[in-house]
């Protein structure tokens, strides 16, 4: 079976690479935008009295199935790449925001007081003290978000978003086990690669700053 799968991948190399590129672009664009949204909002919730309420909503949002999120954006944005991207951004934001909130809440008040006592302003303290200490926990949230998005991006094929989900759906429609396995294994390998890379970054940051992430 492995030889047949390898042969099939070689015969359909262009189709496979196109699907992989679309899947990567869709997944990492969603995570990148989610970082831009989730990081500052997470810092704000860690300092705001409304923070626990926002985090509770984000925690509840994590239990919403990926397919349900896709269904929610479908009537508003239609089908195609853009609605798939919006749905994945919605899925990617909660882990990043929650971990950012946890990271900044976990910084000891004495650390902030010491930084202020050294004459640092708020922006300088954020850049030089708070963010380095929070980074291991933040990167753990990004790792969780990335793996979830890569897996969920297969569902984008249901609304014409493209990616490796197309191979899986076509394999099911054509009753082609090779095509189905090729799509599924490609998604798994991509998720494992992202998990390994971001996991290494989290461990390196934890060793450097003496903090451990929350997956």
- What is the average per-residue pLDDT within 107-128? 85
For residue 14, tell me if it sits in a domain.
Answer: yes
Q: What is the pLDDT of residue 212?
A: 40
Contacts of 152 (CB under 8 A, 6+ apart): 66, 88, 91
The pLDDT of residue 201 is above 70: yes
pLDDT in tens, 133-170: 888 899 989 999 999 999 999 988 888 888 899 889 88
CATH code where residue 172 lies: 1.10.3720.10
89-125 b/e with 16+ CB inside 10 Å = b? bbbbbbbbbbbbbbbbbebeeeebeebeeeebeeeeb
For residue 161, give its domain range. Answer: 2-209
| Number of domains composing the chain | 1
Percent of the chain with pLDDT over 70: 93
CA distance linking residue 126 with residue 134, whole number of Å: 10
For residue 129, tell me if it sits in a domain.
Answer: yes
For residue 7, tell me if it sits in a domain.
Answer: yes
For residue 158, tell me if it sits in a domain.
Answer: yes
* 0.75 surpassed by pTM: yes
pLDDT in tens, 92-107: 999 999 999 999 998 8
Q: What is the pLDDT of residue 4?
A: 66
As given in the structure block, the two tokens for residue 164 are: 């490796």
- What is the average per-residue pLDDT within 76-83? 85
The residue to which tokens 């753990």 are assigned: 140
For residue 215, tell me if it sits in a domain.
Answer: no
Q: What is the mean pLDDT of the chain?
A: 86
pLDDT in tens, 10-43: 777 888 899 999 999 999 999 999 999 999 999 9
The residue to which tokens 């749905």 are assigned: 87
For residue 214, tell me if it sits in a domain.
Answer: no
- pLDDT higher for 190 or 158? 190
Q: What is the pLDDT of residue 70?
A: 82
Say which DSSP state 79 is in.
S
The pLDDT of residue 9 is above 90: no
For residue 184, tell me if it sits in a domain.
Answer: yes
CA distance linking residue 20 with residue 11, whole number of Å: 15
Band (215; pLDDT cuts 50, 70, 90): very low
Q: How many CB atoms lie within 10 A of CB 52?
A: 12
CA dihedral sign of residues 201, 204, 205, 206: positive
For residue 159, tell me if it sits in a domain.
Answer: yes
pLDDT in tens, 172-186: 888 888 888 888 899
């Amino acid at each position: 079976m492995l030889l047949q799968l390898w042969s099939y991948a070689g015969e359909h190399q262009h189709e496979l690479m196109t699907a992989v590129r679309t899947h990567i672009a869709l997944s990492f664009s969603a995570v990148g935008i989610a970082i831009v949204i989730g990081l500052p909002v997470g810092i704000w919730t860690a300092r705001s009295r409304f923070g626990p309420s926002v985090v509770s909503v984000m925690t509840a949002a994590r239990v919403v199935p990926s397919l349900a999120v896709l269904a929610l954006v479908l009537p508003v944005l239609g089908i195609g790449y853009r609605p798939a991207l919006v749905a994945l951004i919605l899925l990617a934001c909660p882990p990043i925001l929650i971990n950012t909130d946890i990271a900044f809440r976990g910084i000891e008040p004495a650390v902030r007081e010491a930084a202020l006592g050294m004459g640092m302003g708020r922006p300088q303290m954020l850049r030089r003290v708070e963010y380095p200490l929070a980074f291991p926990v933040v990167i753990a949230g990004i790792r969780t978000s990335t793996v979830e998005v890569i897996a969920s991006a297969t569902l984008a094929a249901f609304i014409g978003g493209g990616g490796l989900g197309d191979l899986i759906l076509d394999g099911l429609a054509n009753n082609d086990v090779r095509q189905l396995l090729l799509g599924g294994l490609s998604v798994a390998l991509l998720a494992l690669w992202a998990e390994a890379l971001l996991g290494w970054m989290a461990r390196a940051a934890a060793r450097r700053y003496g903090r451990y992430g929350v997956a």
